[in-house]
């Protein structure tokens, strides 16, 4: 560890606290923004197409990987565990994103649901971890430090080599950065206020999501019978929770599947079969079947219709790292 890692100005020294262990922390969440990208005092990072990870290690033990909703991911990404053991400090809590090396969420799906490290490796899908924040180092909680200081300490205490990467800050005019990101086919940018603390488990306007494409998570509440040569299911029936905590129907998602995905989804849905619709709205689709609203999927779409339905929706994958109760309509 660098000798000057704790060489901080007095006001930042006073922000340090003794950590209550080095276990899981609920991650800070970004707020979706449709405003112009902010300017001075903000840094920008690529919005990655993967799964959020909170990585922890206590007293030089084996590192652990946690999803956003505190599910273990050690078995899915054993090479990340090994790399953190070799390239990280003795005791830490880190925040980041795990992605497939090819950058696609669909490739990551092959590993997301596996708990056997050997099976995960045999998929042939290579993965990497992009680390972008530090919450605990040794026995010190650093969440009250400014983001710029946390980043400096992160760079000093982690050795970044494959498969660990530092999520880099992008420099330039914010509007031009976003336009370039969208032109390159990125999902968007995350804007972060450089002097902001880390808000555990909170959605903050100190972090903003600037999206290039329309997509979000939805709760699966049912499915329809397949037709023609398709097997498994025809479409997923999806929704989101409103301010009254009622599940609103958003439409049916009938594209974006291959044969293996259809078979996997049908197996998962059969285990969740229910007699009644979970949606508060009336749903009238041919061959409809209901399930307990326990699965979350990512869906891309072109726009919302006037009656609150998705236009041109396309299935992108299951999200085991998201709790159904957290799924709302993004504005």
Q: Catalytic site residue 47?
A: yes
- Tokens matching residue 39: 């300017």
| Cα within 13 Å of Cα(257), Cβ side | 22
Catalytic residue among 34, 47, 192, 209: 47
222: Cβ contacts below 8 Å, ≥ 6 apart: 236, 237, 277, 278, 279, 283, 288, 289, 290, 291
Q: Please, what's the b/e burial string for 129-148 (b: 16 or more CB within 10 A of its CB; e: otherwise)? A: bbbbbbbbbbeebbbebbbe
Quick one: three-class SS letters along the chain?
CCCCCCCCCHHHHCCCEECCCCCCCCCCEEEECCCCCCCCCEEEEECCCCEEEEEEECCCCCCEEECCCCCECCCCCHHHHHHHHHHCCCCEEEEEEEEECCCCHHHHHHHHCCCCHHHHHHCCCCEEEEEEEEEEECCEECCCCCHHHHHHHHHHHCCCCCCEEECCCECCCHHHHHHHHHHCCCCEEEEEECCCCCCCCCEEEEEEEEECCCEEEEEEEEEECCCCCCCCCCCEEEEEECCCCCEEEEEEECCCCCHHHHHHHHHHHHCCEECCCCCCCCCCCCCEEEEEEEEEEEEECCEECCCCCEECCEEEEECCCCCHHHCECCC
Active site residues: 47
């Amino acid at each position: 560890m660098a000798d000057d890692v704790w060489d901080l100005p007095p006001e930042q020294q006073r922000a340090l606290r003794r950590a209550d262990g080095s276990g899981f922390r609920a991650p800070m969440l970004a707020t979706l923004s449709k405003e112009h990208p902010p300017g001075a005092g903000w840094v920008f990072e690529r919005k990655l197409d993967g799964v959020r990870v909170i990585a922890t290690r206590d007293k030089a033990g084996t590192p652990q990987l946690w999803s956003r909703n505190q599910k273990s991911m050690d078995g899915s990404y054993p090479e990340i565990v090994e790399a953190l053991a070799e390239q990280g400090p003795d005791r830490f809590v880190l925040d980041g994103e795990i992605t497939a090396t090819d950058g696609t969420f669909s490739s990551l799906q092959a590993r997301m649901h596996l708990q056997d490290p050997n099976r995960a490796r045999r998929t042939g899908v290579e993965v990497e971890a992009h680390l972008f924040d530090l919450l605990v180092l040794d026995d010190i909680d650093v969440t009250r430090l400014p983001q710029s200081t946390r980043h400096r300490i992160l760079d000093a205490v982690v050795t970044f080599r494959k498969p660990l990467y530092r999520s880099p800050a992008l420099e330039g005019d914010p509007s031009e950065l976003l336009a370039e990101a969208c032109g390159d086919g990125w999902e968007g940018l995350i804007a972060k206020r450089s002097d902001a603390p880390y808000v555990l488990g909170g959605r903050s306007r100190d972090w903003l999501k600037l999206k290039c494409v329309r997509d979000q998570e939805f709760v699966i509440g049912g499915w329809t019978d397949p037709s023609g040569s398709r097997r498994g299911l025809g479409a997923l029936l999806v929704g989101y929770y409103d301010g009254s905590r009622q599940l609103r129907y958003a439409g049916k998602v009938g594209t974006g599947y291959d044969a293996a995905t259809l078979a996997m989804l049908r197996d998962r849905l059969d285990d969740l079969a229910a007699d009644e619709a979970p949606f508060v709205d009336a749903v009238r689709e041919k061959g409809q079947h209901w399930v307990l609203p326990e699965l979350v999927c990512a869906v891309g779409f072109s726009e919302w219709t006037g009656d609150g339905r998705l236009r041109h929706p396309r299935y992108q994958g299951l999200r085991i790292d998201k709790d159904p109760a957290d799924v709302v309509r993004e504005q």
